[in-house]
Structure 1
Amino acid sequence: MATVALRSAAGKWIMVSAILASSMGFIDGTALNVVLPSLQKSLQASGADLFWVLNAYLLMLASLILIGGSMGDRLGRKKVFMAGIFIFICGSAACGFAPDVLYLVIFRLIQGIGGALMIPGSLSMISSSINQQERGKAIGTWSAFTTVVTMGGPVLGGALADAGLWRYIFFINVPIGVAALIMLWLKVKESKDEDNQQTLDFPGAITIALGLALVTFGFLRMPAMSFSNWQVWGALTTGVLFLIAFIIIEAKSKYPMMPLQLFANATFSGTNLLTFFLYAGLGAGMLFMSLNLVQVQGYTQLQSGLTFLPFTLMMISVARYAGALADKYGPRLLLIFGPATAGLGLLILSFVKQTTGPGDYWVTFFPGIIVFGLGISFTVAPLTAAVMGSVSDHFSGTASGVNNAMSRIANVFATAIFGALSVLFFTGALQQQIKTIKLNPKQKQEVMAQAADLGNAKVPQGIAEGKLIEQAYHQSFIKAYANIMRIAAGLGFLGALMAVLFVRNSLKSSTT
C-alpha cells in the first residue's frame, strides 16, 4: 500500500480514528483505578475481587494481542481493527450493566478480546500508512493524544464515581467507538501485507493464554491460600510450563504469532524488556497511589483524579517534542533518561506518609508526580518509535502486538504479584500495629481478617478501640504502599538499564 503524508486528508483520518479507538482501550485502565473504591462498595467486592476486575481485561488482552497484530497484517488492518472496536464497545456496554462482580469479570474478558484486536491495529495502521520520514512524528502525536486521554481518565472517573455513576466509565466507550467505526468505514482505505498468505498460530495463542491465566491465578490466590497450597503452586508451575511450551511452539512453527527472529535485533529485544519493566512499575504505582489517595489520605475520587492533571499537561507539552527528538537524534538517550526519571519519581512518591488531605498535595504528592510525569513523557513516543523502527514494514502489526503484549503482560503480572505482595506487607505491618492495642484473641483475628481488603478494611463491630484500629489500618496501608512504590521505582531503573545495554540508534535490521 502506498504511504500518505501526515498532513494529508487521508493521513488525518487515519490519525483521528486510530487515536479515538486506542484511547478507549487505554482510558479504561486509568479511569477504573480511580473508581475502584466506589465499585468495591457498590458491588460489595473484596480486595482480591478488585484485582480480578483489573486482570480479567488485561489477561485476555495480553493473551490475544499477539494474534490480533498478526491477524491485522494478514487479513487486513482496517477490517480487524473495526472488528476489535465493535467487540470492545459491546463488552463495555455489558460491563456497565453488570449486576455483580462475577458478571463484571466475565464482561471484562469480552472487552479484552476486543482490545486485543483493536490496540495493535491503531499503531500498525499508522506505521504502514504514514510515510517513513514523518512516522516518528505521527507516533509521537498518537502517543501524546492517547496518553492525554488516558491520563484524563482519572479526572472523568473521579467525577463520575463521586456522583455515584461509576458505571458510565464503561458506557462512555460506546459513542467514542461508534465515531471511530464510522470514520474508518467511510474515510480510511484497507491496508494489509499482500505477500503474506500465512495461517494463524492458534497453538501459540492457546498456550500463551493458558500460561498467563494460570500464572495470574496463582499469584491472585496466594494472599488467601499461601504459597504452600496446591492451587497456588500448581497453577504457577503449570502456567510456567505453558509459557515454556509457547516459546518452543514459536521456535518450531512455520508461521509463528511471535517470530523469535525479531529478537535477534538488540534494539527490539531491549525496548521490549524496557517496556515490561517500566509498565510493571507504572501499573503498580498508578494503582496503589489511587487507592492510597481515596482510602487513606481522604481525597474524594474527583480530587484523586485531578492529582494526575500535571502528568497530563506534561504529556501534551513534551511527548510530541520527544518523538521529534527521537527522529532527529535517535531514541537511545531518551530511553535511558526517561525510565530513570520515572523511577526517581516513584521513589519520591514512596516517602509520602499520612497527610491531612488535598490541602497538603503540593508539598507531598505533587513533586513526585512531576518527576514521574517528566520521565514517562520523554519515554512513550521514543519507545514506540524505537520498537516500530527496529522491524521492517511487513512485521509492523506483529511488532506492535509484541510490544503492546509486553506492556499488558507487565500490567497483569504487576497487578497479580503486587496485589499478593501488598496483602503480605499490609498483614505484616498490621500485626506490628495492633500489638499495643488491647484486644482479645478473637478480636485480633477479626481485625486481621480485614487485611485482604487493604485500604478498604473496616473496623469489626463491638471493638471499643475503633479509632486506634482505623489508624492501624491506615498506617499499615501506607507501609505497604511505600514498599510497593520502591519496588516499582526499581523496575523503572531496570528499564533504563535495558536501554543502556541493548538500544542502539541505528534501528532497522536486515533480518527483520
Structure 2
Amino acid sequence: MTTPPALGITAPVRLDTPAGRWVLVVTAVGSGLVLLEATVVNVALPALGRSLDASMAGLQWTVNAFTLTLSALILLGGGLGDRFGRRRVYLVGVVWFAVASLLCGVAPSLEWLIAGRALQGIGGALVVPGSLALIQSSFHPDDRARAIGWWSGMSGMAGAAGPLLGGALVDAAGWQWVFLSNVPVAVSLALLLVAHVPESRHGKLSGRFDVAGAALAALGLGAMTYALIQAPDDPGAATIAAFLGLMAMLVFVWAERHSRTPMLPLGLFASRPFSVANLASFFLYGGLAGLFFLLPIQLQVTSGYSTLATGLALLPLTVLTLVLSAWGGALTTRTGPRVPLAAGALICGLALLLATRIDSDASYPVDVLPVVALVGIGIPLITPPITATALSAVPDARAGTASAVSNGVARAAGLIVVAALPLLVGLPQDAANNPAALDRGFDVGMLICGGLFILGGLIVWFGVPRPADVPAAPIR
C-alpha cells in the first residue's frame, strides 16, 4: 500500500547528518522532559508530603494527576499533530508544559499542586506523540530503528535521571525546584525546535478532531483512578466511581467505532504486531511504574537514605539506560523485536524479585545495586523494540496516532498500577511515616510488579511473530 508523503519534508534525513542530529536531539529532549517529570517527582514525594501535609492518597494524586491527563489526552495530541502539523502541536505542548511547571513550582497547597500536575500532563500529551512521530516521518527508513534506539536512550535517560536530579534539587533548594527547573529547558527547546526541525503532517486527514472521545477517555480513566485510590476510605463512592468509569470506557469504544474522525482509529488494531506490542506494553510499563513509585519511598522511609542519596543509588540505572539503548535499537534491527523484548522482561522480573531484599538493613552493593543494574540492562532491551514494533506496523500517515496509542497505553498502565498498588498491598494512609507497614507492602508490591514483567514477556514471546514482513494496518 502506498502512503501519501508527509507535508513539509522534501526528503528523509539521515541520522549521521547535522539535520538528522538536530531532529533527534530536539525530539528526544522534549520527550525526555516529560518522562523526567514522570519520575523526578517520585523521589521528592516524602519531602513534598511533609511540606504540604499530604497523606498516601495525596501522594498518589500528585503522581496520578499528571499521568491521568497525559494518558487520557495523548491520543488526541497524536491526532492533532497528524492533522495540523507535528512541529506546531509539539511547540504548543512545550510552551504549555513550561507554564504548567511554573504553576506547580509556586503551588501554596496540595490542591494547587495537583491541578498544576494535571495541566503538565496536558502539555505532555501534545509533546510525546509528536516527538516520536517527527522521528518516524523525518528519518530515512533504514535509519529509523537506530534513531528510535537513540531517542529511547536519550529520552529514557532523562526519565531514569529523575531520581538523581530530584534528590539534588530537593536537598539543595527545595521540592519546588523539581518543577521550576523545567522552565528554562522548555524555553530553550522551543527556540531550537523552530530553528532546526521542519514541519510534518499528513495532507489528506480532516482538520476535525474527536473531542467526545477525549472527554470519555478522561472521564473513564479518572473515575477508575478515583475508585482505586479512595476504596480504602470510602468503598461506596469508590464502587460508584468504578461503575461510571467502566461505562465511560465502554461508551468510548462505541464512540470511536462510529466516529468519522476517531481519536483512536480501531482499525490500527487489525495489525497483530501493533496489538500485541501495546498489550505487552501495558504490563511492562505498569511494572516499571510500580517500581519507580515505591522504590524511592522505600529507600528513604525504610532504609534511611536521604533524598540525594536515593538519587545517587539509582544512578547506575541512568547510566546503563543511556549506554545500552542505541545497542538495543541496533539489536532489534538485526534480530527482530521478539528476543530482546522477552529477555528484557525476564531481566526486569528477576530484578524486582531481588528488590524484596531491600529493607532497613539493606546493603547497597549487595541488595540495591543488583536491582538497579538489572533494570538498567532490561529497559534498553524493552523500549526500542516495543516502540519500533508498534510504529512499523502502521502507515506513516498514522505515525502520530500510533505513537500516541503506544505512549497512552504505557501511561495508562502506570496510572492504574500506581493507583492500585497501595490498595492491593494494604498500605495505610500514613505509610510514608510508617517504615514497618511500608516495608511489608513494598515486598508484596515488588512481587506483583515482577509478575507484570513476566506476563508482558510471555505475551511478547508467544504473540510477536518472528522477523518477517508484516503488512501495515489500513487507515480507517
* Cα distance in 1 between the residues matched to 2:311 and 2:264: 37
Read off the aligned partner of 2:457 and give its amino acid letter.
Answer: A
Q: CA deviation at 1:475?
A: 2.6
Read off the aligned partner of 2:132 and give its amino acid letter.
Answer: L
Q: Which has the larger Rg?
A: 1
Conserved in 2, the CA contact under 8 Å of 1:34 and 1:158?
Answer: yes
Matched residue, 1:254:
260
Question: Would you say 1:365 and 2:368 are equivalent positions?
Answer: yes
Q: CA deviation at 1:60?
A: 0.4
SS of aligned partner of 1:263 = helix
Question: Would you say 1:136 and 2:145 are equivalent positions?
Answer: yes
1:474 to 410, 426, 435: 435
Q: CA deviation at 1:198?
A: 5.0
Read off the aligned partner of 1:271 and give its amino acid letter.
Answer: A
What is the correspondence of 1:489-508 to structure 2 with a 5 Å cutoff? 489-504=450-465, 505-506=467-468, 508=470
TM-score with structure 1 length normalisation?
0.89
Q: CA deviation at 1:184?
A: 1.3
Matched residue, 1:467:
none
What is the number of equivalent residue pairs in this alignment? 464
SS of aligned partner of 1:99 = coil
1:453 to 430, 447, 455: 430
Conserved in 2, the CA contact under 8 Å of 1:269 and 1:502?
Answer: no
Q: CA deviation at 1:372?
A: 2.2
Conserved in 2, the CA contact under 8 Å of 1:154 and 1:305?
Answer: yes
Matched residue, 2:168:
159
What is the correspondence of 1:181-200 to structure 2 with a 5 Å cutoff? 181-200=190-209
SS of aligned partner of 2:201 = coil
* Cα distance in 1 between the residues matched to 2:473 and 2:412: 26
* Cα distance in 1 between the residues matched to 2:275 and 2:469: 12
What is the correspondence of 1:337-352 to structure 2 with a 5 Å cutoff? 337-352=343-358
* Cα distance in 2 between the residues matched to 1:210 and 1:353: 38
* Cα distance in 1 between the residues matched to 2:299 and 2:469: 41
* Cα distance in 1 between the residues matched to 2:473 and 2:296: 44
* Cα distance in 2 between the residues matched to 1:218 and 1:81: 33
* Cα distance in 1 between the residues matched to 2:40 and 2:238: 30
Q: CA RMSD in A?
A: 1.3
1:306 to 309, 312, 321: 312
SS of aligned partner of 2:205 = coil
Q: What are the superposed Cα offsets for residues 27-50 of structure 1, whole Å, 9 maximum, x if unpaired?
A: 112111001111011111111111
* Cα distance in 1 between the residues matched to 2:38 and 2:144: 27
Q: CA deviation at 1:51?
A: 0.5
Question: Would you say 1:79 and 2:94 are equivalent positions?
Answer: no
* Cα distance in 2 between the residues matched to 1:101 and 1:355: 33
* Cα distance in 1 between the residues matched to 2:266 and 2:66: 26
- Percent sequence identity over aligned pairs: 36
Q: CA deviation at 1:308?
A: 1.2
1:292 to 290, 295, 298: 298
What is the correspondence of 1:115-134 to structure 2 with a 5 Å cutoff? 115-134=124-143
Read off the aligned partner of 1:286 and give its amino acid letter.
Answer: F
Matched residue, 1:511:
473
Matched residue, 2:219:
210
Name whichever of 3-12 and 400-409 sits farther off. 3-12
* Cα distance in 2 between the residues matched to 1:39 and 1:207: 32
Question: Would you say 1:376 and 2:392 are equivalent positions?
Answer: no
Conserved in 2, the CA contact under 8 Å of 1:278 and 1:339?
Answer: yes
> Displaced runs of 4+ in structure 1, greater than 6 A?
none
1:269 to 270, 275, 286: 275
